């Protein structure tokens, strides 16, 4: 089974009849780095939350490894939300112990190595760290798992260019061929270099799913230029 995630006829309607996803169909294969791209409000984060079981679909289904979102799918998905989500009073070392206990695929050695590379003390409490450092710690925790699917929601938004480079380097160096990385972002120029494939979303529907190479060959444009063309206001 090469499909890691199957999205079938997925619809999500929020309160006040706000349609976020509109009968979406999508297949996410294994072994790729995929950019989930679209303008604000196109449904990227809603789709990500649904894959992670943080929302319930109004209609349709999502299958991760053939199973609906639940404890089994969560065990093989490593998710980085677009916000600071660790408890501020925790120490970095406590976070390592937490992840070690709950995720069988978490490698504390890898986490410690990355923390040491960035000179982040394990004794530091999260609330004492700067926003950028907290984001790095979050990324280290997420990428220290040997998950089948990594979902990174806006991983490079709000960090400086040096940190962006570090994040992209971390993604590439920790990603294995059997796992897939799904990256949602607006900052296409920075991320395009690492992508194998892109999914364009507009108004809760998939408008394009193609490889970066094929876009370059057939359209004669970079992903960024093609994105601007497709989503021109």
Partner 1 sequence: MLGKLLKHEWRAVWKVPVLLYGVLLLTGLIAGLTFSMPIWDSDWVGLPMSGVMLILMFYFALIGVSVGITIYFAVRYYKSMFTDEGYLTHTLPVSARELLLNKVITMGAWNLITMAAIVLALIVFGGTALLALKSGLGEFSREVFKAFSELPELLDEPYMEGFEGFCASIIWMMLATAFSGTMMLIGSITLGQMVRKHRILGSIGAYFGIQAITQTINTVVIMPFMFTVFEDWWWDVDSPFYIFTGFYVVMSLVTLAVAVGLYFLCEYLIRKKLELE
Q: E strands along the chain, which residues?
A: 3-13, 19-29, 33-37, 59-64, 77-80, 149-153, 180-185, 197-202, 205-211
- Count Cβ atoms within 10 A of the Cβ of residue 184 and give its class: 0-12 exposed, 13-18 middle, 19 or more buried: buried
- The whole-angstrom separation of Cα 82 and Cα 48 is 11
Strand (E) or helix (H) holding 2 = none
List of residues contacting partner 1 (CB under 8 A): 14-15, 49, 52-56, 70-72, 74-75, 77, 79, 81, 83-87, 89-90, 94, 98, 101-103
Coil vs helix vs strand at 104: coil
Residue closer to partner 1, measured from CB, 100 or 222: 100
Residue closer to partner 1, measured from CB, 93 or 209: 93
Helical segments of 59-107, H only: 71-74, 92-102
Residue closer to partner 1, measured from CB, 139 or 215: 139
**CB 79 to partner 1: min, Å:** 5
Listed residue (31, 34, 25) closest to 6, CA to CA: 25
Pairing between β-strand 33-37 and β-strand 197-202 as defined by DSSP bridges: parallel
Residue closer to partner 1, measured from CB, 52 or 192: 52
Residue closer to partner 1, measured from CB, 36 or 48: 48
**CB 130 to partner 1: min, Å:** 17
**CB 74 to partner 1: min, Å:** 4
Residue closer to partner 1, measured from CB, 98 or 231: 98
Contact 184, 45 (CB under 8 A): yes
**CB 128 to partner 1: min, Å:** 17
Residue 81 in tokens: 């939300």
**CB 90 to partner 1: min, Å:** 8
**CB 14 to partner 1: min, Å:** 8
């Amino acid at each position: 089974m090469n499909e890691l995630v199957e999205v079938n006829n997925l619809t999500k309607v929020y309160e006040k009849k706000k349609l976020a996803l509109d009968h979406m169909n999508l297949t996410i294969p294994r072994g790729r780095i995929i950019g989930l791209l679209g303008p604000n409000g196109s449904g990227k984060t809603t789709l990500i939350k649904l894959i992670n079981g943080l929302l319930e679909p109004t209609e349709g289904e999502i299958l991760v490894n053939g199973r609906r979102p639940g404890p089994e799918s969560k065990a093989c998905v490593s998710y980085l939300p677009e916000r600071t989500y660790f408890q501020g009073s925790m120490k970095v070392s406590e976070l390592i112990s937490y992840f070690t206990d709950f995720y069988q695929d978490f490698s504390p050695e890898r986490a410690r190595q990355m923390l040491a590379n960035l000179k982040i003390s394990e004794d530091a409490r999260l609330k004492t760290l700067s926003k950028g450092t907290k984001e790095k710690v979050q990324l280290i925790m997420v990428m220290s798992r040997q998950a089948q699917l990594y979902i990174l929601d806006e991983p490079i938004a709000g960090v400086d260019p040096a940190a962006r480079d570090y994040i992209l380097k971390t993604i590439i160096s920790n990603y294995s061929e059997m796992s897939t990385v799904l990256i949602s972002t607006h900052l296409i120029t920075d991320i395009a270099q690492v992508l194998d494939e892109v999914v364009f979303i507009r108004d809760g529907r998939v408008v394009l799913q193609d490889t970066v190479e094929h876009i370059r060959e057939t359209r004669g444009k970079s992903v960024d230029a093609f994105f601007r063309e497709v989503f021109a206001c």
